[in-house]
Every structure is written in structure tokens, then in C-alpha cells.
Amino acid sequence: MVGRKILISLIALLLIETIQAKDIVRFSPNEGDFTSVVRQAIEKAESEEIKLIFEKGVYSFKPDLAFEQYMSVTNHENGYKKIIFPFQGFKSVEVEGNGSEFIFSGQVMPFLFSKCGQVSMSGLNIDWSTPFTFQGEVVAINPEEGWREIKPFTDGFSWKLNRGQIEFPLVDGFKFSCLGSTLAFDPVSTAVSYDAKDIYSKPTTVERMPNGNLRVYEKLKKYPAVGSILNSKGPKGENRYAPAIHVISSSNINIDRVVIHHALGMGFLAERSDTFTLTNSGVYVREGSDRVVSIIADATHFCNMKGHVLIENCRFEHMLDDGTNVHGTYVTIDKVLNDHQVRISLEHFQQTGFEFADQGDELWFIHEPSPDRMEVNTVMDVKVINSKYSVLTFKNKLQPETKKGDVLENKTWNPTFTMRGCTIQNHRARNIVLKSPLKTIIENNTLSSMMASILFRGETYYWFESGQVGDVLIRNNTFIDCVQGGSEQAVFYVTPRLGKHFNSKAIYDRNIVIEDNNIRTFNNRIVWADRTAGIVIRNNDIVQTKDLQVRFPEAPTFQFDNCEDILIEGNTYIGDNNNMIRADEKSSKSIKIKKNKGIH
């Protein structure tokens, strides 16, 4: 009898039309758990094309009956993941939300698109019933005695004080091992607090005060301001379960009007996929919510894409990492096995399991100490040893200078990239991180940042994200009050980070054009470039605001280290800084400064 009832409800919910070899499934909202309902629709699809249409409403997705699969997810923790919408191997997938709210709970990855040929998503909001963060208002600090007192947010947050420690989120059997990464936000501006630094929080003990406040005993280098809102997201290695939307080995992705209010990692993550368009979408805290954080990591993130990646008319706020990061992957040669084979190693623990190369890919060889891309060779075969090591067999004989410690970069998997008409502000880290060698355009955006607004940082070190940019145009953007916190950075910050065996003076990034931008910021530093050739700073309108106090008063407006071919032309500067340009000997040799106003 029970079974029959379920069957009838399912029939009522799923009106499956199989028209022209496409599975079309319509859903109407109700108060139940939709996890099994969408899972059945996906698993029972008879064709390679599927379309899910959600009547506008609120849909709830719980973790219990979710599909599970071991997943390597770049820049997240690998593991056995619960996936609510597991789209794998479809020729085409369409998800029409019609303005619906999708409310998730527990540790889940909402959407996976793996090996899909065509993906479109539209008109839906993603949120969690309970966020995986802990929040408290700082009501008192005592640096001498080493404590802060906070008034914890209770409504809508899940936590408890247990044996002198704050445990959260206590959802679905999970809790973080400590408060972990912690950051202060300004309750009025909702931005990261002025001059805030990342805190790694592991209190010695926490006491409950008679008024319900918590006294957190922990020596900090710098205590957050009284009145600020402290948000904790758990420690590194535990707090990046999965992105909200994970695209891998797919092509032609179109996402329109999708808003992510919370996620257990990044917002939109795409890896090794071809052509991605995100329009009229966003990552931000729901209006009226008292959360100061939207998602745990980057709003958007692209690793070894190809084709074109476009982000247009989007809004990214209150996430705990970059607005976007467009990069490839450096692997190191662990061993040269013979004149056609090398064993390679993925270096960062969140890169393990990443498919760095496949048969037919063209790879660049980079022979340290030079960071430059040298010969190209085509992969004939990949034998995966395990999640860290693989053996690559190449078409052509390896160059004799190939050796352990050299680096490979995938030439085939790099995208052209455009970001246009977006607003990125009030979040941790950088607005934009650029590392693609191909044409990159950043235009008509409004940007305000905690750290650098636009960062260039290929790394043959820690993160091992490639690579050298070669064609970047940053134009007609408005920059407002950048580098409000963190360490000393600049609005435009070019700073490759290479392993110790690499030449620390050699040119790395090339051809960055910064023109026609409106820059309204309180700090001194606008451009700080290291090892850059062909940087053009043209026709920008720079006004130093008085909104906040200058954080590094001795810093120059423009600084160049180890650079070549610098052009500073037609810019205007209105502000108090008299220390306009600092260039080392090498950079000074080929710097051209002309037709600027207020720049001397």
C-alpha cells in the first residue's frame, strides 16, 4: 500500500514526455525532499538528452538518498561526494528553474555536469537551509589577556559549545575540527573589515558568559575591531567539500540567471571543458539575511578550459575567495624515463586526480631555470599511476635538456576569456585572477577588493597554477577602494611565484594593457608589476579617495621590478601621493612616460 502511494505521487510529480528522443521531466514544488525525485528522473532518462523543468517554487534537497561517487574536484577536497543532480554523459542537459529556490542541506554537491555535450541552466537560486559557517559580533577584546568576546548569531546558524570549543555546523553528522579560517566583516559596509587579515582560529578554550556571549581565548597577532562580525568557515582541508556547480570534461555550457547564496566550496567551477558562458547570474547573500558570507571559496573558477569563457552582467559578493580565477596547471617532471616518456607529478594536494593531459594534447615544455614555454610535444599516451603520478608518452623525441624538475603546461587547454559588466565587491581575496596565455578582456566591470583587484600570479610553487599571460586588455572598468585588507598589494598586481630553481628575474607575464579605467581608491598603489614585458597603462583616470586611511603611505603609485617595455601614457592622477613611480634599474631602461596629468 505504501508503495502504491509513492508510485502515485511520483506519477503526479514526474510528467515525463519523451518527445523526439529527449527526456523532458516537469516538477511541481511540494514540501518533501526532492533528492530522490530528481535522481530518478536523471537515472531513468532513456535518451541522451534531458530537460528538467521546475515550476516556480521552493524545492528542498536533503543528502540522505543522494547519489554518491568518488570525485576528484580541483581546488577542493577529493572524496566520496553526495551529488543531487548527477548529470554524466548526456549529449545535452537543460535545467529550467523558472525562478525557483533550491534549498540544500548537509554535505552535498548540488550540480555535476560531467562529460556532457551541451549544458544549459537558467532561472534558479541555490541556498542552504543552514550555512557551514559560524558568525559572531565582536563585543569586546582583550589582547593582553588574549581573548575576544563575541555575541554569536543563533537564528539560522548551527553550532554548540562543547567542552570549551565551538563546534559547527552540526549538520548531517558533520562538524569542523575547529573554527579555522576566520575573517572580520564591517557590519555597515558589509565589506571585509578595513585592514583585516586572515585569521586561523583554534582557540585554547571558549567560555560562555552569563549573558550568553562567548569569550574566546586565543592569542592573535591582531584582534578584530569591536563591532565587526567575525565569520569562521572551518580549517583548510575540511572546508571545500564541493562547488555548487561542477562542470568537468564537458562543452558548451550556458548558465543564465542562476544565483548562488551559499555553497560548500566554490560557486561555478569548470575544469577541462570547452566554452562556458555565465550571464545575468551571481553569488551573493540573500537580501535581508544576516549572513556576512555567501560561499566558502571563489565565485567562479576555471582550470584548463578551452574555447571561450564569458562572464557577463554578474554580481559576486561576500564569498571567501576570488571573484574569478582563470588558470591552467603546471605539473613537474618527476623522472625522465626514456627519450619519449616522462613521469609527471601533480603538486598541490587539491590537484591530485586532475586529468592534466590526454592523448592528442599538445604540451609546452618549460626547462628550469627559465620559466618560458619552449618546445611543444604531443601526448601519445597517458598511463595514470595514481592520483599524483602519471607516465606521459610523447610523439617526438624529448629535447636532451629535459630533466627532473622541469615543468609541463597544457597548450591545448587554455581559453580566451572575457569578463564584462560585472560587479565584484565585499569579499575576501582578489576580484580577478588571470593566468591564461590567450586573449583576455576585462571590461565595464565595477570592482572593489580586499586584496589586489586584478592579480597575475602563475606559480611553479605551492598552488602550481599556470601560466604566463600574453594578451590581456583591461578597459573601461571602475575600481573602487581596493586592497582594503590583507598584505601590501596593488589594484593591478603582477607577481609570479616560481620554485626556487627558477630564474627569479626572468620575464614572465607579457602584454598587459590597462586603459580607460576609472580608478577611485584610497591607497597609493595602482600598478605593481614584477617580471612583466609590454605593460601599457593608458588613459586611466585615477582619483585618490578619502573613504579610508591609506594603508601603506610610503608605497608608490606605480612600481616595476625586472620589467621591460613599460608605457605610462595619457593617464590623469588626482591625489596626495608624491611617490609616483618606482622602477628598478632594468625596468627604468625601457619605461616610457608621456602625456599624463598629475603623474611626475
Query: Which residues in this chain contact a second copy in the complex, by CB under 8 A?
Result: 1-4, 6, 64-68, 70, 78-80, 82, 173, 177, 204-205, 335-339, 341, 349, 385-389
Shortest Å, Cβ 112 to a second copy: 14
Grid cell locating 342:
616522462
Buried b (16+ CB within 10 A) or exposed e, 234-261: bbeebbbbbbbbbbbbbbbbbbebbbbb
Nearest CB to a second copy, comparing residues 20 and 386:
386
Shortest Å, Cβ 238 to a second copy: 9
Stated as kind and residue range, the H or E segment containing 164 is none
Grid cell locating 70:
568518488
Shortest Å, Cβ 203 to a second copy: 10
Shortest Å, Cβ 32 to a second copy: 13
Shortest Å, Cβ 161 to a second copy: 15
Shortest Å, Cβ 336 to a second copy: 6
Shortest Å, Cβ 70 to a second copy: 4
Nearest CB to a second copy, comparing residues 21 and 385:
385
Strands in 218-317 per DSSP E: 229-232, 245-248, 251-260, 268-271, 274-279, 282-283, 300-303, 306-312, 315-317
Shortest Å, Cβ 546 to a second copy: 40
* Separation CA 509–CA 453 (nearest Å): 17
Nearest CB to a second copy, comparing residues 51 and 215:
215
Nearest CB to a second copy, comparing residues 2 and 19:
2
* Separation CA 202–CA 510 (nearest Å): 42
Burial class (CB in 10 A: 0-12, 13-18, 19+), 123: middle
Nearest CB to a second copy, comparing residues 348 and 586:
348
Say if residues 513 and 544 touch (Cβ distance below 8 Å).
no
Cβ-based neighbours of 253, under 8 Å, separated by 6 or more: 113, 119, 120, 247, 270, 273, 275, 276, 277
Nearest CB to a second copy, comparing residues 69 and 444:
69
Shortest Å, Cβ 142 to a second copy: 18
Nearest CB to a second copy, comparing residues 395 and 595:
395
Shortest Å, Cβ 453 to a second copy: 33
Alpha-carbon distances of 339 from 255, 335, 365, rounded to whole Å: 45, 11, 14
Nearest CB to a second copy, comparing residues 5 and 500:
5
Nearest CB to a second copy, comparing residues 286 and 383:
383
Grid cell locating 20:
523526439
Nearest to 290 by CA among 508, 136, 173: 136
* Separation CA 501–CA 496 (nearest Å): 14
Nearest CB to a second copy, comparing residues 36 and 425:
36
Shortest Å, Cβ 63 to a second copy: 9
* Separation CA 316–CA 323 (nearest Å): 6
Phi (first) and psi of residue 413, to 5 degrees: -105, 75
Nearest CB to a second copy, comparing residues 65 and 567:
65
Shortest Å, Cβ 3 to a second copy: 3
Nearest CB to a second copy, comparing residues 35 and 559:
35
* Separation CA 600–CA 197 (nearest Å): 33
* Separation CA 321–CA 429 (nearest Å): 5
Cβ-based neighbours of 35, under 8 Å, separated by 6 or more: 61, 62, 63, 64, 65, 66, 84
Nearest CB to a second copy, comparing residues 337 and 380:
337
* Separation CA 429–CA 113 (nearest Å): 27
Alpha-carbon distances of 404 from 335, 400, 499, rounded to whole Å: 5, 12, 13
Burial class (CB in 10 A: 0-12, 13-18, 19+), 110: buried
Cβ-based neighbours of 334, under 8 Å, separated by 6 or more: 342, 343, 344, 345, 389, 404
Shortest Å, Cβ 410 to a second copy: 22
